[in-house]
């Protein structure tokens, strides 16, 4: 039987510009301070991804680093579910960034990308993640700026959008916060932006209520954990498979248009 009570989501705000060893030490320290929670979201450091893009590491080396990081996070973060990312994955000629469930290593969301300075692309599919009856949907990088992606998640049944925005793309922090508020208001869902910082740039960590009002914004360049209460959506929302299919088709069209622009 699913609980109707609110669950606790633990969000890690970290320096994502450091090496793997320093990153793991900071996660260990913060995990020791954090209380028990139903789920945690831990953004991974951007250095391995940048090394892959710059050709300093091949894909096999990159995957070994990511697996080691994911194993360390899974071992020290004491939540029922632990989600990490974004992680690059290649399937043939296509490349994706994914959020990954740390224990099983299974993808829980996927973003199609053409690697470049802006990591352009859209989500081709956004499966729901259910934690104790609270349905969430993960967005990555700039997905929050495209209403079709959020609406696809909502039509799929999510009550909270979790947008993971590490400081790898040149996104205006104020626009990230504004986009989160707009997506919350137009869809009547809670929005959590999981940000981070590096020496070059920073993205905020934001919590937005369903009416679009801000519950919290953290943009400090210091590591910390935020504990956020997520309530199960008791509202019966009218949903249409036709509408859901429409948004899925719109996302595919946007992908094709973006691909032609390269």
Q: Is residue 2 part of a domain?
A: no
The pLDDT-based confidence of 168 (bands split at 50, 70, 90) is: confident
Percent of the chain having pLDDT more than 90? 53
**pLDDT at residue 259 in the model:** 45
Range of the domain at 162: 7-260
Query: Between vectors from CA 12 to CA 59 and to CA 150, what angle results, nearest 5°?
Result: 75
Distance CA 230, CA 120 (A): 30
pLDDT tens digit string along 173-222?
Answer: 999 999 999 999 999 999 999 999 999 899 999 999 999 999 999 999 99
The pLDDT-based confidence of 260 (bands split at 50, 70, 90) is: very low
Nearest by Cα to 138 from 244, 247, 251, 43: 43
Residue 34 sits in a domain whose CATH number is 3.60.110.10
Pairing of strands 196-197, 202-203: antiparallel
Q: Answer for the pair 38, 68: CB distance below 8 angstroms, yes or no.
A: no
Tell whether the model's pLDDT for residue 102 goes beyond 90: yes
Q: Is residue 200 part of a domain?
A: yes
pLDDT tens digit string along 11-32?
Answer: 999 999 998 889 999 999 999 9
Tell whether the model's pLDDT for residue 4 goes beyond 70: no
3-state secondary structure of 193: strand
Q: Is residue 1 part of a domain?
A: no
The pLDDT-based confidence of 245 (bands split at 50, 70, 90) is: confident
- The count of structural domains within the chain is 1
The pLDDT-based confidence of 258 (bands split at 50, 70, 90) is: low
DSSP state of 141: G
What is the average pLDDT value for the chain, to the nearest integer? 86
């Amino acid at each position: 039987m699913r609980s109707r009570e609110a669950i606790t989501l633990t969000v890690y705000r970290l320096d994502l510009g450091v090496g793997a060893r320093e990153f793991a030490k900071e996660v260990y320290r913060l995990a020791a301070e954090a209380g028990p929670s139903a789920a945690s979201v831990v953004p991974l450091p951007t250095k391995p991804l940048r090394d892959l893009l710059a050709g300093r590491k091949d894909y096999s080396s990159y995957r070994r680093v990511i697996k080691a990081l994911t194993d360390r996070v899974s071992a020290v973060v004491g939540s029922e579910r632990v989600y990490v990312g974004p992680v690059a994955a290649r399937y043939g000629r296509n490349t994706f960034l994914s959020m990954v469930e740390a224990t099983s290593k299974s993808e829980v969301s996927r973003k199609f990308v053409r690697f470049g300075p802006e990591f352009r692309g859209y989500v081709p599919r956004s499966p729901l993640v259910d934690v104790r009856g609270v349905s969430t949907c993960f967005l990555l990088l700039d997905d929050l700026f495209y209403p079709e992606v959020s609406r696809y998640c909502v039509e799929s049944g999510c009550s909270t959008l979790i947008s993971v925005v590490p400081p790898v793309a040149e996104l205006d922090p104020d626009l990230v916060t504004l986009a989160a508020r707009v997506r919350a208001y137009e869809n009547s869902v809670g929005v959590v932006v999981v940000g981070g910082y590096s020496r070059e740039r920073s993205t905020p960590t934001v919590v937005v209520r369903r009416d679009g009002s801000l519950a919290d914004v953290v943009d400090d360049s210091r590591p910390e954990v935020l504990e956020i209460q997520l309530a199960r959506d008791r509202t019966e929302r009218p949903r249409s498979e036709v509408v859901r299919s429409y948004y899925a088709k719109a996302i595919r069209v946007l992908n094709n248009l973006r691909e032609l622009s390269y």
